Amino acid sequence: MKVLFWNTGKQKVDTLLSHIASEDLVDLIILAEYDGSTNHFIDKINHNTEVFSEVPQIGCKRITAFIRAGFADVEPGPESNYYTAKKLIFSDQFSMLMVAVHLPSKLNQSEKTQALEAVEFKREIEMAEAKLKTNNTFIVGDFNMNPFENGMIAASAFHSIPCQKIASSEQRIIKKRSHKYFYNPMWNLFGDFDENPGTYFHASSEQSVYFWNILDQVILRPSITNYFVKDSLNIIQKIDGTSLISDSGRPNYSDHLPITFEFNIPGEIKDEEFMARRI
């Protein structure tokens, strides 16, 4: 399963999305700040056959998602203004909980408030896992926090750490309270060795400035880390010859760059004809 996430910044992105969906065989497209009044992805991508359908949502207007037809059954989960949860059922033996987020930015709240909100959000995710009877959870989206911030790493918050081996212990006990881990592979994308130093650029006159930030992330429970294709994780800078980076090296289409990643789904996938194209 190939997943794309992009905070599109309310730009017109249908042509770019259609290309990457078709050429890169993306199965699940998750978007933040997608302007449906100027974009009509379904009409554009499905001009010959029905390839994608929109994942229905009621309570979350900050996220728009499309899934390839026949790829998985979708069971609705809880939603709020800032996230939507869906159980993706691939077979009788295997399912995953997808949680797509667009959390509040630092323009509206402090880092301390973000961390406290992450604590509450983590509780809601655990309730969703219990309700939908799966711990095969991945959370993807615009967290508006870097991987190293307290809201991402604190045990009471997302508890997402950069070491898969440690995360494989599934939980740790602090003051007799159990805290489940998420594994966060985004740490591997810091730096400019591959010319992708982050997903969001911000400069200011403050003394301490990161310039490049990784606000757009995927984190996953240890139970599905073995299905995660590590070398598939990528920050996208170009789609169909269109650069998403200006000559100065900053995002110039949306203010965020998209990320893509893949899972190897065990067992039988519903759309066998489509899967045959990937072999």
List, for residues 134-155, the tens digit of each pLDDT value.
Answer: 999 999 999 999 999 999 999 9
- Rounded percentage of the chain residues whose pLDDT exceeds 90: 79
Q: Residue 276 pLDDT more than 60?
A: no
Ramachandran region, residue 117 (left: φ > 0; alpha: ψ -120 to 50; beta: rest): alpha
Band the pLDDT of 268: cuts 50, 70, 90.
Answer: low
Q: pLDDT band for 195, please (50, 70, 90 cuts).
A: confident
Task: List Cβ neighbours of 141 (8 Å cut-off, separation of 6 or more).
Answer: 5, 30, 32, 63, 83, 99, 100, 101, 102, 103, 216, 217
Q: For residues 205 and 75, give the distance between their C-alpha atoms in angstroms, rounded to a whole number.
A: 47
Question: pLDDT category, 269, cuts 50, 70, 90?
Answer: low
Q: Which of 57-61, 192-196, 249-253 has the lowest mean pLDDT?
A: 192-196
Can you give the pLDDT at residue 208? Answer: 80
Across residues 52-58, what is the average pLDDT? 91
CB 15 within 8 A of CB 43: no
The CATH number given to whatever domain includes residue 45 is 3.60.10.10
Q: Say whether pLDDT at 15 is over 60.
A: yes
- CA 187 to CA 43: how far, in whole Å? 37
The yes-or-no verdict on residue 279 having pLDDT over 80 is no
The pLDDT value recorded for residue 211 is 86
Which spans in the chain are helix H?
A: 14-23, 41-45, 111-132, 150-153, 164-167, 272-276
The sign of the torsion formed by the CA atoms of 136, 140, 146, 150 equals negative
Q: What is the mean pLDDT of residues 250-277?
A: 79
Query: Which amino acid, one-letter code, is at 272?
Result: E
DSSP 69: T
- pLDDT computed for residue 202 by the predictor: 84
Q: Is residue 181 very low, low, confident or very high in pLDDT (cuts 50, 70, 90)? A: very high
Average pLDDT over every residue of 9-35 = 95
Which residues of 144-193 form beta strands (DSSP E)? Answer: 160-161, 171-174, 177-180, 182-183
Range of the domain at 54: 2-276
Number of domains in the chain: 1
* Residue 6, pLDDT above cutoff 90: yes
C-alpha–C-alpha distance, residues 26 and 97, integer Å: 18
Phi, psi (rounded to 5 degrees) for 80: -140, -170
Measured distance CA(33)–CA(1) in Å, rounded = 23
Q: How confident is the model at residue 248 (pLDDT cuts 50, 70, 90)?
A: confident
The gap between the terminal CA atoms of the chain, to the nearest Å, is: 13
Strand partners, 139: 99, 219
The type of residue at 179 is H
